[in-house]
């Protein structure tokens, strides 16, 4: 029993690991957005209403005619001679009548050779001889792509997400020159992004996104022009760097700001010292002005209630603050006695 449980647990772990690997490989795919299974509508499957209506009408007509002829006593040979051609005609028109939407081009091959492009609108093909290999969408397409853990020129692993805007300008080349132009442009975009990242430093990537966008557009456009595809623009969505490097860059920026603050403080001290030097030249030959300035500073400091001002003894002797304070005390005592 224990061995069965152990084997069952091992099998579950292997299944989980396989699922994780499959999910990881799908997340790394540059065209993962095209591989998702979506329920297509009738228009996306290019089943137009005209051919469907004609087919239903032919089936009803053949069925009704066969029933009517059988009720009138016609033999089976005549009934089948009328029923089969109507059904064949309905299916022929069903496959022959095609409708391309305004933004689409249909690539038609006749017996394996290029017949031409058809659309937009209503057109005819010859069933069995003609085949529509692909429908080319000529609207502006959006392809997200990314490069994960790609080393920059200064050996820093980064994850970069980008968006590519492109369109097909030559539907014939897009159908004949490349097997799957959507997947091809997705892979070309991813390889170009990795190439550009490897040629730039991390600082250039962070501050030079416009240049990076232009370089990517030029490289991808050169690769896709032979396929009949032109690139309108490339936009970098996000640049993700390792968390350790992000913390280090944050500390570096903080240290740089502290250094600038210290430099500004030092320059301020130099300016203040220069101002004091200029003021000292004005007071050096005028001691009276210096005394008045000192007394004014004391007055400003003592205006607040409970203020305590500490002055050096030399200043007390120089400005005769001791005698002045004594006179102030005697005056205060006289005022108290008069009261």
- Which pLDDT belongs to residue 229? 92
> Both tokens of residue 300?
């400003």
Rounded mean pLDDT, 42-53: 74
Tell me which of 324 and 253 has the higher pLDDT: 253
Task: Specify whether domain 141-241 bears CATH 3.30.479.30.
Answer: yes
Give 261-308 pLDDT, tens digit per residue. 888 888 888 887 787 777 777 667 776 666 666 667 666 666 665 556
Q: Kindly write down the DSSP assignment for every residue of 5-19, as one continuous string.
A: HHHHHHHHHHHHHHH
Phi, psi for residue 231 in degrees, rounded to 5: -100, 125
Domain boundaries, the chain: 1-26, 31-132, 141-241, 243-284, 286-339
Tell me which of 56 and 287 has the higher pLDDT: 56
Tell me which of 194 and 296 has the higher pLDDT: 194
**116 confidence band (pLDDT: 50, 70, 90):** confident
| 319 pLDDT more than 90 | no
Phi, psi for residue 322 in degrees, rounded to 5: -65, -50
**31 confidence band (pLDDT: 50, 70, 90):** very low
| 244 pLDDT more than 60 | yes
> Both tokens of residue 257?
């700001």
């Amino acid at each position: 029993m224990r061995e069965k449980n152990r084997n069952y647990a091992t099998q579950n772990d292997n299944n989980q690991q396989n699922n994780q690997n499959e999910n990881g490989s799908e997340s790394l795919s540059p065209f993962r957005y095209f591989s998702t299974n979506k329920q297509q509508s009738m228009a996306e499957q290019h089943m137009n209403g005209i051919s469907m209506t004609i087919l239903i009408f032919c089936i009803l007509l053949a069925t009704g005619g066969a029933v009517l002829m059988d009720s009138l006593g016609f033999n089976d040979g005549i009934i089948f001679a009328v029923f089969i051609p109507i059904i064949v005609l309905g299916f022929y028109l069903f496959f022959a009548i095609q409708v391309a939407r305004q933004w689409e081009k249909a690539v038609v091959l006749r017996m394996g050779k290029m017949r031409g492009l058809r659309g937009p609108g209503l057109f005819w093909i010859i069933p069995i001889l003609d085949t529509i290999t692909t429908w080319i969408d000529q609207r502006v397409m959006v392809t997200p792509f990314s490069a994960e853990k790609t080393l920059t020129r200064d050996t820093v692993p980064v994850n970069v997400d980008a968006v590519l805007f492109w369109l097909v300008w030559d539907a014939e080349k897009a159908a004949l020159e490349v097997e799957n132009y959507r997947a091809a442009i997705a892979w070309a975009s991813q390889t170009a992004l990795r190439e550009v990242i490897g040629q730039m430093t991390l600082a250039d990537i962070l501050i030079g996104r416009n240049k990076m966008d232009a370089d990517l557009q030029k490289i991808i456009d050169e690769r896709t022009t032979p396929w009949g595809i032109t690139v309108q623009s490339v936009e970098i969505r996000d640049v993700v760097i390792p968390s350790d490097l992000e913390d280090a860059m944050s500390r570096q920026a903080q240290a740089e700001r502290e250094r600038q603050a210290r430099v500004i403080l030092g320059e301020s001290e130099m300016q203040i010292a220069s101002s004091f030097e200029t003021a000292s030249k004005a007071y050096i030959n005028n001691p009276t002005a210096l005394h008045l300035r000192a007394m004014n500073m004391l007055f400003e400091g003592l205006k607040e209630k409970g203020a305590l001002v500490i002055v050096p003894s030399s200043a007390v002797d120089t400005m005769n603050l001791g005698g002045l304070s004594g006179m102030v005390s005697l005056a205060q005592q006289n005022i108290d006695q008069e009261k």
